[in-house]
Amino acid sequence: MTAGTAGAAHTQRIREFKMPDVGEGLTEAEILKWYVKAGDTVADGQVVCEVETAKAAVELPIPYDGVVHALHFDEGTTVDVGTVIIAVDTDPGAGPVGEAPGEAAAPAEEDDAEPQGRQAVLVGYGAAPSSTKRRARKQQPGVPAQSEPVTAGLQAELNGHSAPAPAATPVAVPVAPAAPAAVVPAAERPLAKPPVRKLAKDLGIDLATVVPTGPGGVVTRDDVYAAAAPAETAVPAAPEVAVPTAVAPVAAFDAARERRVPVKGVRKATAQAMVASAFTAPHVTEFITVDVTRTMKLVQELKQDPDLAGLRVNPLLLVAKAFLVAIKRHPEVNAAWDEATQEIVYKDYVNLGIAAATPRGLLVPNIKDAGAKTLPQLATELGELVATAREGKTSPAAMSGGTVTITNVGVFGVDTGTPILNPGESAILAVGAIKLQPWVHKGKVKPRHVTTLALSFDHRLIDGELGSKLLADIAAILERPKRLITWG
């Protein structure tokens, strides 16, 4: 068997599984838990790990039969889509896995070899191997080669951990003319993290022209800003590097009693979405306080209804139904703003989002075609939606395509609030706590169940008159729930 044949057999035997894009173009995911370890036998379709994306926690099945050869990342590590996370020996009966002949003799040739095309991953296709595997950097004269600890430190920084201290590496004295080795190919891709690449693109800076100052020759944000600065300001910018050292001690008030948690996963996605929504859609919030005593009585009656036996019946169910009936009376509110085409998209369906507080952060899954469902169907889906969200098992598809949302702040004893729109939606209704309060009823002051509703809407889509009518109709239905029949 030739060296090339042996190498091909070795490659076919060890199959590598890359982090897939589990939905909506996500770029990274955190490995929450491994269900297997090196040496375990796995089968095609077996779940090997659980990962958390910016949307939800997802279990990943392996598409191979064999024995786990290696796990490339520990639990808690954030990994880019397209990066190999696990290797499987698909022919364990062939004996121990060794280094393929010819690999040690020509490492440079392997690094420069063209990839054999894209490999299919679980959901779609990850990045091409050439984009996830860095070519070895050519050593320049007088510059020591990067050691393994430096590479490990760089990887640790990408994963949000502290980089280990690099070991001292002696400078190799070249014995041959170094001029050819110092030539860097024009096509070599500069090293930089994705946010830095985006910054450079936004500023119109070619990374190949930027002088890197980060560890291992990585281009940093400061490097990009320095390259973008006018020529006359580029020179005095160098002394500013020493400024952080002087002010570092006052950066934290009491570091011994503070802790820092990396922003990632659902929390990171929520923060980005809320900022984008707050500063893109012009919000208007209106409030109304309403007597919901009749609605509370109807809730108690429905709990005894055989048609709803086993279903979770609560005030939120009737609030959701009231919201849907009010939207049916004012269908213009169910719309979206298309910035790219400068069009308003009116929707003939309602995907009702329900904001759910979970251990991983705020999730907003939605009930598809909620406006077409009966009350028992709505109760069933509402119960399943909340239960799934609290378990952290909500799929990305369940959180996409929402049109309007309800957030129930009343469960925390809060009277009301000014909710922020879920991006891409036209309205969000906040339901406050339902409390016994003195209320004028039929000319007399009596204790009644009262709550305050708050409706935020996108003023580009919904004028004040339309938003006011929508909120007034919701309140009117909750005050006299028989309108669910006469208006529905």
The string over 442-478, giving b where at least 16 C-beta atoms fall within 10 Å of a residue's C-beta and e elsewhere, is: eeeeeebbbbbbbbbbbeebbeeeebbbbbbbbbbbb
- Distance (Å, whole) CA 466 – CA 428: 14
Alpha carbon distances (Å) from 86 to 70, 73, 378: 6, 8, 42
Instruction: Decide: residue 197, CB within 10 A, 0-12 exposed, 13-18 middle, 19+ buried.
Output: middle
Q: Which residues contact 439 (CB under 8 A, 6 or more apart)?
A: 291, 445, 446, 447, 448, 450
69 is catalytic: no
DSSP SS3 for 332: helix
CB 391 within 8 A of CB 365: no
Instruction: Decide: residue 17, CB within 10 A, 0-12 exposed, 13-18 middle, 19+ buried.
Output: buried
- Distance (Å, whole) CA 268 – CA 277: 14
Catalytic residue among 10, 72, 330, 459: 459
Q: How many helices (H) and strands (E) does the chain have?
A: 15, 21
Q: Which residues contact 250 (CB under 8 A, 6 or more apart)?
A: none
With vertex at residue 388, the alpha carbon angle to CA 349 and CA 395, rounded to the nearest 5 degrees, is: 65
CB 201 within 8 A of CB 192: no
Alpha carbon distances (Å) from 290 to 101, 174, 294, 415, 416: 79, 84, 11, 12, 12
- Distance (Å, whole) CA 375 – CA 415: 26
Strands 191-192 and 218-219: parallel
Q: Which residues are catalytic?
A: 459
